[in-house]
A and B are shown apart, each in its own frame.
Chain A
Amino acid sequence: MFFPLAPSPTSPTRVVITGAGIVTALGLGWKPNAEGFRAGRTAFRPVSLFDVSRQRAKCAAEVDLPASPPVSRLNAKQIARLDRAATLLLLATCEAWRQSGWEPAENLPLVLGTTAGGMSLGEAYFRQATQTPRSHRLQSTRAVHYQPQVQARMILDALGSNGPVTIVSNACASGSNAIGHAWELIRYGRAERVLTGGYDALSELVFSGFDALQALSTTICRPFDARRDGLALGEGAAVVALETLESARRRGAIILGELIGYGTSIDQHHLTQPHPHGDTTLAVMNQACAVAGVTPDDIDYINAHGTGTVLNDSSEAFAISEWAGRRAATLPVSSTKASIGHLLGGAGAVEAVICLMTLREQWLPPETMFETPDPACKFPIVQKPRDARVNVALSNSFGFGGVNGTLILRRWT
């Protein structure tokens, strides 16, 4: 029963990650992504998915999808209905699932973040309805399958599982909030394990929206650089298998890392602009640290939200600098959006998995195109590939509308 709530454990349950899947324009799966992020590769290229000839920006980080989807329990009809976003999600899910060693279950909670779900299907519906209004071919299917909860159900079917589906849509914080919500479900004893993550595919509407706002870079996406001129869009998905430490130990599972802190709040300053001094960012980072029982001195790496827009990065730079205090001078920070673009609803989840990579493999992802620090940055931006001791990593995510999220992950040794 969702309510009455089961009594919370006397002390919060420890939550570990036993599976992780990632898909970005750097590649499909952990290995190509880890190699790409470690080297600071960038994955931008001219957009091929739709016409951008009348847009200011022309590039994005597109994923090369495989010729066929991963092997799963989906039948041919279901596979035919997977749109681009659902395919990205399925790829990440299957990788996380295989790694976790979980068996199919009838009560597996699935918590996903997305901003657009199957937007490409919605776009196709609109085009057909306006351009050939007498044609109804495929419209019913599109009307159903553009909905993210239907995509989520498809994922459960692919795994031979079932369970409650929760779709969080807090704009660009969706992925982070989904993982945070899943973490809370386990931490407070409401679930033993949860599959969670975020996803979004490139779509014409969203590209056009950011372009209309003049938020897209027409040069190079350079988060925190004084000469930055905007963000670059990307697409992808990441999914993690979260479970109680007790469950993981009982199964003898390989533990990839521990999720130790989460904070979320809402910035009421503006629909699309953060508070100039990052007040809410500061609060949410403090909140996550308090929950995790760590201080800025304990953090070894920050994967910043760092979109590359003037307003976001200056606000976040203020907040990180204020939050870290003296630690700021030596605290490595980077934004991996410099490599793969902004994945919107997928960003928080993908960046959490990148943090997991840094913890597992002990390196920091650089921004190789970064040149001139913004004066608001009192912290060093990781510019060159390098190995590092990383025991605790923090990931920030902020969304249109003001909802934000901070996740803190710890190395498992």
Chain B
Amino acid sequence: MSRVFVAGLGAVSPAGWNVAALREALNKGEPLPTQTISRPGWEKPLPARLVPNPAVRPAFLAHPRLRRTSPITHHVMAAALEAMAGLRANPDLKFRLGLVVCLQSGCVNYTCRFFDETLKDPATASPLLFPETVYAAPASHVAAVLENISLASTLVGDPSAFLQGVALGAQWLDENRVDVCLVIGAEETNWILADALRHLERPAILTAGAGALCICREPGFSAGVELAAITDAHTFSARLSRMQAARAMRGQLGKSSAGELLCDGTGDSPRADAPELAAWRDWTGPRISPRRILGEGLMAAAAWQCVAACDAVAAGKFAAASVSLVGSNQQAIGARFVRADSGISHLSTGKSIGNIPS
């Protein structure tokens, strides 16, 4: 049986540009303050939690490929680099890197800008904007900056698809197609997304950012966390309600042991949260709900759940952590991460990962 370890974590959120800021916000347990986004044609702006500007301009923005990119690419890039920091600390380390980027709304800023220009006059719509509208753009930019990516894919879905991304990365590792795989969930905010969210889940507050897991086969490069399970995808259908799908996912994750953490996906919307709350009604252990603190970050929020779960296990606070993802319109899917011996201190030995000699 293949084993998959977590080698690094990365996060960009309304709390800041790293995992430490995410951790601090979650530990505090207070919902972050909200800001507003103005919506064309309305006097009243829409609430949102915006990603603050980084304290220092990220060095990666100097890369020529990132010159005209939109915030989602910046989020993806920052999370990727943070998750890879341990492995990149040793430049002699050679490995084949895979990349899975998961998105729900994707590159909405440039899409809206470009379509707006098209409606005004297509003859003058900017050719610089259009390529940045495609779902695959952030993955392309990350690949160009990191250079050693040999396999990449972008998956689209509701937030639960983030764990499908992790499963795809695990599959690539198992098939020995890559030695290390980055799995990133990301989003960006704009008025049209905030508007759509108001239609669908009025109490939810839109936010954005990214979360990244760097996974590998080599136990020596574990950051102290191992992937233990990802459930089946329980796809909603005419015959499987969200409630039933959430229960089926919960059933597959099994009974928890004492001292385990639940990282759930509930937020501020009683209607949307009801199936997940029902599925975990019997949970008596500790629980964190990143969406309640950070907001509705769509795919980024799902990634933050996984990052928070792994971070708590890596820090030794819990022996295991379960992640519950009951998506908005696709499926319910869960995962379990457990403590593993940390091998991250071996990163400076110049050892190679997988089959690639250093």
Contact = CB atoms under 8 A, between A and B. Distances in A.
Among A7, A139, A184, A209, residue most surrounded by chain B Cβ atoms (within 10 Å): A209
Contact of A400 (B125, B140, B231): B140
B147 A136 contact: no
B342 interface: no
Interface residues of A, number: 71
Contact of B140 (A127, A150, A209, A266): A266
Contacts of B358: none
A177 B153 contact: yes
Interface string B223-239: 00001011111011111
Given A136-B199, A140-B199, A162-B237, A211 B122 contact: yes
A401 interface: yes
A52 B152 CA distance: 35
Contact of A8 (B132, B175, B200, B235): B175
A209 B227 contact: no
A209 B41 contact: no
Among B118, B195, B233, residue most surrounded by chain A Cβ atoms (within 10 Å): B118
A268 B64 CA distance: 13
B140 A402 contact: yes
Contacts of A265: 150-151
A149 B161 contact: yes
Interface residues of B, number: 81
Interface stretch (B28-36, B164-172, B256-264, B280-288): B164-172
B156 A204 contact: no
Interface stretch (A23-31, A168-176, A312-320, A326-334): A168-176
A378 B211 CA distance: 47
Q: Which 9 A-B pairs have the closest CB atoms?
A: A133-B41, A401-B136, A401-B140, A209-B130, A164-B233, A2-B167, A169-B135, A2-B230, A3-B230
Interface string A261-273: 0001110100110
A164 B135 CA distance: 21
Interface in B66-115: 99, 103-104, 111-112, 114-115
Contacts of B196: 125, 139, 143
Nearest to A114: B156
Given A3-B335, A403-B154, 18 more contacts: A2-B333, A3-B166, A5-B170, A126-B192, A129-B40, A130-B119, A139-B196, A144-B200, A169-B155, A177-B153, A208-B118, A209-B127, A211-B122, A266-B143, A266-B151, A271-B131, A271-B144, A401-B140
Contacts of A148: 156-157
A209 to B, nearest CB: 3
Contact of A167 (B141, B157, B195): B157
A281 to B, nearest CB: 15
A402 B136 CA distance: 9
A157 B232 CA distance: 19
Contacts of A3: 4, 166-167, 170, 227, 229-230, 335
Nearest to B152: A266
Interface of A: 1-5, 7-8, 52, 54-56, 106, 114-115, 117, 122-123, 125-127, 129-130, 133-134, 136, 139-140, 143-144, 147-150, 153, 156-157, 162-171, 177, 181, 184, 188, 190, 204-205, 208-214, 264-266, 268, 271-272, 399-403
B199 A163 contact: no
B115 A126 contact: yes
Given A3-B167, A271-B141, A162 B154 contact: no
Contact of A126 (B112, B122, B238): B112
Contact of B229 (A1, A401, A403): A1
A2 B163 contact: yes
A83 to B, nearest CB: 15
Contacts of A140: 199-200
A126 B39 CA distance: 12
A212 B122 contact: yes
A96 B41 CA distance: 46
Contact of A1 (B103, B131, B232): B232
B174 interface: yes
A213 B130 contact: yes
A398 to B, nearest CB: 11
Contacts of B39: 129, 133
Nearest to B239: A162
Contacts of B167: 2-3
Contacts of B200: 140, 143-144
10 contacts: A2-B230, A127-B119, A139-B196, A143-B196, A153-B236, A169-B134, A268-B147, A271-B140, A401-B154, A403-B153
A188 B167 CA distance: 14
A204 B118 contact: yes
B59 interface: no
A268 B150 CA distance: 10
B55 interface: no
B345 interface: no
Contacts of A123: 115
Contacts of B122: 52, 54-55, 208, 211-212
A162 B240 contact: yes
Given A1-B252, A170-B153, A402-B140, A144 B134 contact: no
Nearest to B140: A401
Contacts of A8: 174-175
B118 A149 contact: no
Nearest to B115: A205
B151 A264 contact: yes
B235 A190 contact: no
A184 B171 CA distance: 10
Given A133-B40, A204-B118, A149 B174 contact: no
B192 A153 contact: no
A188 B40 CA distance: 51
B235 A169 contact: no
Among A133, A156, A162, residue most surrounded by chain B Cβ atoms (within 10 Å): A162
Among B39, B175, B330, residue most surrounded by chain A Cβ atoms (within 10 Å): B330
A263 to B, nearest CB: 10
